[in-house]
């Protein structure tokens, strides 16, 4: 079968393309925004890619078109699909029909940390010899690809997004997956372009909870009021909490301030039949939020039979996914780090984690507010405070952002600078940076290739 995928360079749709190719389908696709790592991954897989949307991309005529949620009516290729009467389907529905039947699905949901937690979970299962399948909205470096089928009888880990499914299906993506194990990591207001308020997102999360069978497991973070409200709507599946609360059956205790070493305590039940075990994770990651992600992954893998000690040892060999605190290069002792953070909470958590691990030198934050929520300015009042852990902040005003970032400079808790030109931003960073500094670049897009441009400019200045 020839599948043609619209929006193929999106993290979800690109992963879907890899699964379709592995199933033996002929796969092509089109997208208007083509940048690594997804574009590179697709090219390496030999998947034909059309840049831009056009009716011509539908020649030869595909057997089925998979339409991403970034596409809407008025798009020339969408209009051609409808006019030609081509069979079409959303990405989540195709996944549910073609890949997930008969699999033990682990769905990882939450506003932040889904990609990292899903990657950790897949790695723990892999390290235990289970050969899991997975679809992750990023490229886990332990695997080198963002999706694979895995063994037919092995668990399948999917990053479960609450964003809507397609222009013709406004349900959240994750209601399609019917997981046996659902991880609910956190919940905040986001996606202001489709949700009116946090209550609307809580309702969607409850739709996910409704799909988990009674024989399954809900792994839910403690200390999350929004998730408490979700469960208060009803839960028909055993719930296990994880976090730092004393009563949670899965909890962690930091043994280093930067969270590079922490103890996991698992207590299940009471009396003679209770489970009481613990293990220490000593790993290269930092940040309390990463430790919490690791705790969730350990609990999910444990539900699939991976013992705690083995899982803790495997986390020591875990490598963060591409674009999650990924070191892109180092010049004269100056590190350039790429991170996907684009929500104030994620920005703050990333910087706090890096700050705890930065013994010498300064931490310079470079931020492009690019997501739909950021473009609407919904969370603008929280942005200035989000960089408090940095030594300086460099804000980039991207084209199409219809509100000014200038007020962030006045409210900034650290020295801040605003640039509207990418080359000027690179020049300012090169002028400011000195040996032992760490420059962390945060965006959920390609950011105009700033990472390579910055590394090249640093080499010229310090070579």
Question: What is the pairing mode between strands 275-282 and 261-268?
Answer: antiparallel
What span, in angstroms and rounded, lies between the C-alpha atoms of 115 and 324?
Answer: 9
**Which residues, 6+ apart, have CB-to-CB distance to 333 below 8 Å?**
361, 435, 436, 437
Q: Give 113's Cβ-side CA count (13 Å radius).
A: 25
CA dihedral over 3, 157, 201, 375, signed as positive or negative: negative
Bond prior to 60 in cis (omega within 30° of 0): yes
* CA proximity to 395, closest of 428, 423, 424, 417: 417
**Which residues, 6+ apart, have CB-to-CB distance to 101 below 8 Å?**
none
Q: Count the neighbouring beta carbons within 10 Å of the beta carbon of residue 379.
A: 20
What span, in angstroms and rounded, lies between the C-alpha atoms of 55 and 83?
Answer: 10
In Å, the largest CA–CA distance within the chain is: 69
What span, in angstroms and rounded, lies between the C-alpha atoms of 180 and 177?
Answer: 9
Q: Rg for the chain (alpha carbons), in Å?
A: 22
Q: Count the neighbouring beta carbons within 10 Å of the beta carbon of residue 222.
A: 18
Dump strand ranges (E) for 231-274. Answer: 239-243, 250-254, 261-268
What span, in angstroms and rounded, lies between the C-alpha atoms of 52 and 306?
Answer: 45
Q: CA of 272: how far to CAs of 240, 275, 276, 346, 453, in Å?
A: 19, 9, 10, 42, 61
What span, in angstroms and rounded, lies between the C-alpha atoms of 106 and 128?
Answer: 16
The one-character DSSP state at 439 is E
Whether the Cβ atoms of residue 346 and residue 332 lie closer than 8 Å to each other: no
What span, in angstroms and rounded, lies between the C-alpha atoms of 160 and 143?
Answer: 19
Q: Which residues belong to the annotated binding site?
A: 110-116
Q: Which residues belong to the annotated binding site for ATP?
A: 110-116
Strand partners, 133: 156
């Amino acid at each position: 079968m020839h599948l043609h995928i619209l929006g193929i360079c999106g993290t979800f749709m690109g992963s879907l393309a890899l699964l379709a190719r592995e199933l033996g389908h002929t796969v092509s696709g089109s997208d208007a925004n083509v940048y690594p790592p997804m574009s590179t991954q697709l090219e390496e897989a030999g998947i034909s890619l059309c840049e831009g949307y056009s009716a011509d991309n539908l020649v030869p005529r595909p057997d089925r078109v998979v339409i991403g949620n970034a596409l809407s009516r008025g798009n020339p290729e969408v209009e051609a699909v409808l006019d030609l009467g081509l069979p079409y389907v959303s990405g989540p529905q195709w996944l549910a029909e073609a890949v997930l039947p008969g699999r033990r699905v682990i769905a990882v949901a939450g506003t932040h940390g889904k990609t990292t937690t899903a990657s950790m979970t897949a790695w723990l299962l892999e390290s235990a010899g289970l050969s899991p399948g997975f679809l992750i909205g990023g490229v886990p470096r332990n695997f080198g690809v963002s999706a694979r089928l895995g063994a037919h009888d092995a668990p399948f880990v999917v990053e479960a997004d609450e964003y809507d499914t397609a222009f013709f299906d406004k349900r959240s993506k994750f209601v399609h997956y019917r997981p046996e194990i659902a991880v609910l990591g956190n919940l905040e207001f986001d996606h202001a372009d489709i949700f009116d308020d946090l209550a609307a997102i809580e309702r969607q999360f409850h739709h996910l909870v409704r799909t988990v069978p009674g024989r399954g497991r809900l792994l839910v973070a403690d200390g999350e009021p929004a998730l408490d409200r979700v469960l208060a709507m009803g839960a028909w599946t055993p719930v296990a909490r994880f976090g730092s609360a004393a009563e949670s059956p899965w909890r962690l205790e930091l043994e280093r301030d930067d969270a590079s070493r922490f103890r996991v305590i698992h207590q299940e039940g009471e009396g003679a039949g209770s489970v009481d075990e613990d293990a220490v994770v000593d790993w290269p990651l930092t940040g309390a939020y990463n430790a919490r992600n690791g705790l969730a992954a350990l609990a999910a893998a444990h539900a699939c039979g991976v013992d705690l000690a083995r899982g803790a040892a495997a986390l020591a060999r875990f490598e963060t996914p591409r674009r999650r605190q990924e070191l892109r290069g180092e010049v004269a002792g100056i590190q350039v780090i790429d991170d996907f953070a684009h929500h104030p909470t994620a920005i703050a958590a990333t910087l706090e984690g890096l700050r705890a691990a930065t013994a010498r030198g300064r931490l310079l934050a470079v931020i492009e507010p690019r997501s739909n929520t950021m473009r609407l300015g919904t969370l603008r009042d929280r942005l200035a405070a989000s960089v408090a852990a940095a030594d300086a902040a460099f804000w980039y005003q991207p084209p199409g952002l219809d509100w000014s970032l200038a007020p962030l400079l006045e409210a900034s808790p650290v020295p801040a600078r605003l640039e509207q030109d990418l080359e000027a931003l690179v020049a300012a960073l090169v002028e400011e940076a000195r040996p032992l500094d760490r420059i962390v670049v945060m965006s959920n897009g390609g950011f105009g290739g700033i990472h390579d441009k910055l590394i090249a400019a640093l080499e010229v200045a310090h070579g």
